[in-house]
Each structure stands twice: as C-alpha cells, then as structure tokens.
Structure 1
Amino acid sequence: MEKKLYITSLILGPLFYTLSSFFWLDNGRYNATGGTLIVIGSVFWIFVFNGLFDAIKAKTPAYAAWGKFLAVYGCACGGVAFGLQDLFADMFQISHQRMLQELGRHPIIANLIFWIGGPLFPLSIFVLGIVLVRTKAAALWAGVLLSLGGILFPVSRILRIELIAHAVDLLMLIPLYYIAWQTLAQQNTDKKELGIKLSA
C-alpha cells in the first residue's frame, strides 16, 4: 500500500504543480484554482520526498533524515502556505501590495513560513537530484533534470513567464514519472520472483 501511495504521489505531485502554471492572474499570482492545485500538489510532494529519501537512507543516513525534514518543511511552509496565500488573495480580492504590507507587520511569521520555508522546496530538489545520482538511486539524466528543475523553479516563479514555468515544471515531471515507472516495474518483478519461489 505504501509503495502504491509513493507511485501515485510521483505522478500527481508534479502533475498538479504543472497544471497550476496554467492558472496565473494578470498580476502574476495564482488564481484560486492554481492555489488549490499548489496546496494539493504539495501534499503529494511530501510523499514523493519520503520515498526518494528512503531510497538513499542506507547510503546517506544523516542527509536522508535532515534532508527529509527540510524538504517537508519546504512543502508545508513553502508550497502549502504560498498556495493558500494566492487562493485567499484571489477569493477575497487582496492585492499583492497589501499582502506584502501585512506580512511586513509580522516579520518572524513571514520569515518562518514564507521566506525560509519557500526556498527550501526548490533547494531540496536541487540537492536531492545530485545525491540520487551519487548514490546510484536514479539515472544520471533524471538526477540532472531534477537538479536543474530545483535551480530554475524559483526563477520561473519570480519572473512569472508562463513558457519558462511550463518548461521548468517538465524538468521535474519527466524524471519523477520515469522513477515512478521504474518503481512500478521493480514491484512487478519482485511479485513475479516471489510467485516463482512460492511455486517452487
């Protein structure tokens, strides 16, 4: 069951992020639909990180533990918080300037949730892509694409250029879909081998 949730998350997490880029407003923020997709996608990303860090914990136990903590922090405080921010801003017609002004009145909260939590998501992807290659837990091209996606993700969201955002989304979606396919293929192989052993 846990493996099925992991594979499902590998598919839906990056897919929801990719779809969210089609729901930007003229002011460069997500509308309510885009914000919702980011929130739900971030929940699936937590299970993506859980599975990927589990794949490397035997070779890099310290990084796997702390890296997972920071990645989940990035999903919750970066992904979910930013998604909810844009969702409520669209629903209640709160301007970007007003949002920044109000956040400025609460610097500790703003830093803990947005300005620290936000960068942790792409940073986690960048470093994880490198470690997955070094530990041979992922193909070289898949790790490189993930790391590139991690570097360019904040750039695409800051510039708010849709074409760049779509390209960056694919940099993360394609390798994760490949890993999902590999995981599913390995699961089927293990089942066949178990069946052969039981019938022997």
Structure 2
Amino acid sequence: MEQQHSPASILEFLQIVGNLKTTKRTGWVRHGVPQPESIADHMHRMGVLAMLIQDPSLDRTRCVKMAIVHDIAESIAGDITPNCGVSKEEKFRLEQEGINKLCSLLAPTSLAETEIRALWHEYEDAATPEALFVKDLDKFEMIVQAFEYEKANPKLGPLNDFFKSTKGVFRHPQVRGWVDQLYRNREAQLGYKVE
C-alpha cells in the first residue's frame, strides 16, 4: 500500500507551488511588459499544448505531466534566465535543491514523489523524445506569448530577442509547423520578421 502524505506537508507543498502563480516570468519583466505572465500561466498553456500532440510515437500523458512539472522547482529557485548572470551549473543546482525540497514534503517513494522527481529529471536531461518535445513546447509557448505581447503593447516594439533565441532550435515537425505559422502571422499582422 502506498504511503500517505501528511495533510500538513501537502499544505506546505501547495503553498510553495503556489509561488508559481505569483512569480512573474523574468524575461517579460526585464523587457518592461505590463502585467507579465506568471510561471504558472506559462506552465498551464504548455500543458494544454501537450494535449495537442498528434504523434503516436510519443506518450501524450507523460508529455502533459512533464509540461505541468517542468518548471515546478522555480517555485523555490525563481525564474532564472540566461541573462541573470547565473551559470547553467548553478541554475541546475538551485533548481535541484528546489525539487528536492518539494519532493521531501511528499511521502518518500509515493507515486507523486517518484513521478514528479522522475518527470523533472527527464525534462532536464532531455534524454527522451517526450522531453525533447516538451522542450520544444517550452520555447514555442514563449514566442507565442511574445507575439501576444507585441500585439497588445505596440509601444514595446518587436520582442526580437525571444524569437532570435529560439530560431532554428525546434525539433518536432508538428511544433515546427506551428512556429512557421506563427512567423507568418507575426509578419502579416505586425510586419516583424524573424531575422
């Protein structure tokens, strides 16, 4: 029989994970986007995107779950971007500490503890087709959001940094098709090209 989580530890877990709802995404804050999305906003739309998979070779349920937990450690570590002056190794260490703290609140070897930890590591290691797909979704969701901010806030001008950082990195053909359509829409509606 699976170990039960204590009600107190579940409430603490939920309180920490709740930080994702109020922590604004760093890239948007740095670019002066008014009312930027939270980490939870980003993770939610990634989960919805993962439901749109039309590739029978991928485990759709695993992709949805991975999208839901891929940034969960940021509830403790915060949203560290490449422009924060933190090395990749230090970022990983901080997020690893975050996932360990979160999982320590769940009953050891429980299904939830094991699954959350495994999904987070699978995403970080980018070693499976599902993890690579979810990494594509992570970048795609970001540029969809950038386009939405460009349309809603013309004074911001083009948010080219976000598009440049992802150009040519998408692997999955379904996501590449979405990206191509996004580029066409952006150029047609705003006159911005991805250089």
TM-score, length-normalised on structure 1? Answer: 0.30
Q: TM-score, normalised by structure 2?
A: 0.31
